[in-house]
Chains A and B, each alone.
Chain A
């Protein structure tokens, strides 16, 4: 069973409703919440990894609830030429996608663990972390 990554956009009207619950309970989908945030205008953004036989039905349900579903077509990439392996990013990466290999002290990037929080893009002193769309 393959999983798909999607970005959900909630409006102020539906951001407080228990919608993800129905994906699990009614459609039997396996949900991994990679990122969730609500801005001061009460609009929500969620990045989900979804798997399950009734994936299409679940997506239709989300659309009926007026949640917009976008494919996750952004990725964070490391410019290997620019990265100096300083390590500054490693304590700010919430999933240890960026980590220090010991004892070499080289910084490694495991993009499978990246949840696109973009913290590294803001932190990297030499701008080696880039967003690719």
Chain B
């Protein structure tokens, strides 16, 4: 390889305001015009972005101590329960948590209008949130009950910690059954009535670094409008390389990231409470990850376009809920974005669930941050396992 760059060199150029930064969309065009080698000589960083519902998200909070003190045993924020089986006034609020009096799916399909994700959006907007906590009382923490109002500014710490975000690739969901189904992939009409997909394709972070050559523990990122970090691999991190019948590699799949960042820096534009009819509540999260162009190979993958990236088509009527393996074929993101795909010989209207325009906006913001010299690249302190690690999913069996 003729291009070899280090993080240190790139960061020096960023500090001097000389770094050449392109979004993942822009670099595709550049590589088409000039080729990988010439582009790699020129470009220091490629920025990616994604803005989609990510259920495995939540916030750690420390409320500060009341007088007299309480060791919170149960806690609710705007009537949504948070987990407080940690220290006295620490809690974790998950994005999918629902109020205890929510009608759920009793009146099917349920609306799930408000949940943990919505509380997170209200907090990050600066709105007051009702805090209620109960306890059993101890000598050091005598109080048994407290009801008050908090805002993000009033409390000590609030940090987003998302155990699984940025799914590398995702199923294109369809429904082969004869009834409408309500899933985390949206409402799916019967008999292949529609298809939903949920990645930003050529802008999506982990599709552009399929071998985890640059994205690792300590990578500095755009998270929810503020600066965050890759903390670990995400849960269910089973990176692999999707291949066609001839064994040609197509698309990285199965990798995930655990992310962390200060909620106080973030904004409600990039953290939105979200509801899926008949399924539940969640949080739509904005993430942008810079990919340093350390060599041509990294650029080769970072410049993959929607025509070269593929999603598996999966039936959510039977195969997915019953954990039956296999799929109904693959489809490129270019075809998905055109709005109609062919499944089992039928034309099926396709629509995304993650916002491509917002993903583009995130990649653009991150590019600006880097160009201004405000945002230096974080060299991973440890790489994450890639496809070569061969990590396989374990299943849960009844014993």
A-to-B contact residues, CB < 8 Å: 82, 84-92, 100, 102-106, 122-123, 125-127
Residues of A within 8 A of B52 (CB): 86
In contact, B275 and A87 (Cβ under 8 angstroms): no
- Given contacts A91-B196, A125-B284, list 10 more A-B pairs with CB under 8 A: A84-B284, A86-B355, A90-B339, A90-B351, A102-B338, A102-B339, A103-B337, A123-B186, A126-B274, A127-B113
B residues 190-226 with Cβ under 8 Å of A? 194-196
> Looking at the complex, which one of A89, A105, A122 makes contact with B357 (CB distance below 8 Å)?
A105
B232 at the interface (CB under 8 A from A): no
CA distance A100 to B349 in the complex (A): 12
In contact, A106 and B274 (Cβ under 8 angstroms): no
| Chain A residue nearest in CB terms to B187 | A123
B residues 102-116 with Cβ under 8 Å of A? 111, 113
> What are 16 A-to-B residue pairs whose CB atoms are below 8 Å?
A84-B51, A84-B358, A85-B355, A86-B354, A87-B355, A87-B356, A88-B352, A91-B194, A91-B349, A92-B187, A100-B351, A102-B337, A105-B352, A106-B357, A123-B187, A127-B275
In contact, A91 and B113 (Cβ under 8 angstroms): no
B residues 65-112 with Cβ under 8 Å of A? 111
| Chain A residue nearest in CB terms to B350 | A91
In contact, A88 and B272 (Cβ under 8 angstroms): no
Residues of A within 8 A of B349 (CB): 91
CA distance A31 to B273 in the complex (A): 42
In contact, A105 and B274 (Cβ under 8 angstroms): no
CA distance A13 to B88 in the complex (A): 65
Residues of A within 8 A of B111 (CB): 122
CA distance A103 to B202 in the complex (A): 13
CA distance A43 to B51 in the complex (A): 43
B238 at the interface (CB under 8 A from A): no
9 nearest interchain CB pairs? Answer: A105-B356, A91-B194, A91-B351, A84-B355, A86-B355, A87-B352, A85-B357, A125-B274, A91-B349
> Looking at the complex, which one of B187, B194, B272 makes contact with A126 (CB distance below 8 Å)?
B272
Which of A90, A123, A125, A126 has the most B CB atoms < 10 Å from its CB?
A: A125
Residues of A within 8 A of B275 (CB): 125-127
B residues 347-369 with Cβ under 8 Å of A? 349-358
| Chain A residue nearest in CB terms to B286 | A84
Given A102-B337, A102-B339, A105-B357, CB of A123 within 8 Å of CB of B277: yes
B49 at the interface (CB under 8 A from A): no
> Looking at the complex, which one of A90, A102, A126 makes contact with B273 (CB distance below 8 Å)?
A126
In contact, B351 and A85 (Cβ under 8 angstroms): no
B residues 150-201 with Cβ under 8 Å of A? 186-187, 194-196
A85 to chain B, nearest CB (A): 4
CA distance A125 to B115 in the complex (A): 12
CA distance A100 to B284 in the complex (A): 20
Given A86-B352, A87-B351, CB of A126 within 8 Å of CB of B338: no
CA distance A88 to B111 in the complex (A): 16
In contact, B338 and A122 (Cβ under 8 angstroms): no
B residues 17-55 with Cβ under 8 Å of A? 51-53
In contact, A86 and B273 (Cβ under 8 angstroms): no
B375 at the interface (CB under 8 A from A): no
Residues of B within 8 A of A92 (CB): 187, 194
B290 to chain A, nearest CB (A): 22
Residues of A within 8 A of B353 (CB): 86-88, 125
CA distance A104 to B349 in the complex (A): 18
Residues of A within 8 A of B310 (CB): none
Residues of A within 8 A of B352 (CB): 86-88, 105
